[in-house]
Amino acid sequence: MTTQQQPLAGKTIAVLMTDGVEQIEFTSPRDFLKQQGAQIVLLSPKGAGAQVQGMNHDVKADQFKVDMAVADADPIDYDGLLLPGGVANPDTLRLSEESIAFIRDFAATDRPIAAICHGPWTLIDAGVVTARHMTSWPSLQTDLRNAGAEWTDDEVVVDGRLITSRKPDDLPAFNNAFVKALSVTEQVDAGPTS
């Protein structure tokens, strides 16, 4: 494939997750991003080589090998961040200081963050939802509003470099919005022209 056919060639996307991740909310974006030429790095509070247990709702599904412990990852090395859902996954990540620090530091780079379903929960702890327009699994709406976000029940919401969706049914729109955000080249301020 050419660069036109693979708009994300040369880009590296971090996926932050742990046990209890909703499998399709990881595998669908992962596969779509790879088709667009991106490299995927699975980060977790677990160490490199450990396994993360995926779930199909409340039934155990596949396991996925961790590429790097989030404590060893530098946000500047990634062009985008994917935060899949599942209930247990973000709930556990919220208690991981290294995970929350990574999300907060990544958000400061102003690069795309895509969070789906319960994934936006971690963004509350990272302090990056205030005055942001977002969506999520409906049970998170009060938490997000209490943290200062404007919550709406939409398939996908794009607010600057933040992309959020509600559930697996939204994955096609979510994946497309994330790729579009990743395809926008960063603007570098060259300073005054005169």
Q: What are phi and psi of 100, to 5 degrees?
A: -65, -40
Instruction: Say whether 51 sits in a helix, a strand or coil.
Output: strand
Give the number of residues written for the chain: 194
Active site residues: 117
Q: Which of 62, 43, 78 is nearest to 182 (CA)?
A: 78
CB proximity list for 95: less than 8 A, separation 6 or greater: none
Confirm if 113 and 162 have CB atoms less than 8 A apart. yes
Cα separation, 148 vs 64, in Å, equals 34
